[in-house]
Amino acid sequence: MTDTGFSADLALAHHLADAADVITTNRFGALDLQVSTKPDLTPVSDADLAVENALRGLLGVERRDDAVLGEELGGSGERAGRCWVIDPIDGTKSFV
């Protein structure tokens, strides 16, 4: 994707959502789902981390100059003009 216009961003956002869907669908209800507690006492699962890592990887290929701010892993590329915000699983408590 070399076009950085709105339509390319929207297509990429759909691609990212599809990638997240594959991971979360496979991990939802899994008996081996790993869950830990963050310092703010909210849960984080291995699915959260897998989604965020996968999306960061895709963005690193498709939009390597863009910043990324993720709920689980923090920020990168703070000086970029565009920032993608990742909340891997909105409502992890309900997910687990």
Residue 4: the pLDDT is: 56
Q: Rounded to the nearest 10 degrees, what angle do helices 6-27 and 46-62 cross at?
A: 150
| pLDDT of res. 28 | 94
Q: pLDDT tens digits, the chain, 96 residues: what are they?
A: 455 568 999 999 999 999 999 999 999 999 999 999 999 999 999 999 999 999 999 999 999 899 999 999 888 877 667 899 999 998 898 898
In this predicted structure, what is the pLDDT of residue 1?
Answer: 46
In three-state secondary structure terms, 67 is strand
Give the homologous superfamily in CATH for domain 6-29+36-95: Fructose-1,6-Bisphosphatase, subunit A, domain 1 (3.30.540.10)
Question: Which long-range CB contacts under 8 A does 17-22 form with residues at least 24 apart?
Answer: 19/51, 19/54, 19/55, 19/58, 20/51, 20/54, 20/55, 20/88
Whole-prediction pTM:
0.87
| pLDDT > 90 in the chain, percent | 74
Residue 74 confidence (pLDDT): 85
Instruction: Decide: 10 and 17 in contact? Cβ < 8 Å.
Output: no
Task: Quote the CA–CA distance of 41 and 15 in Å, as a whole number.
Answer: 31
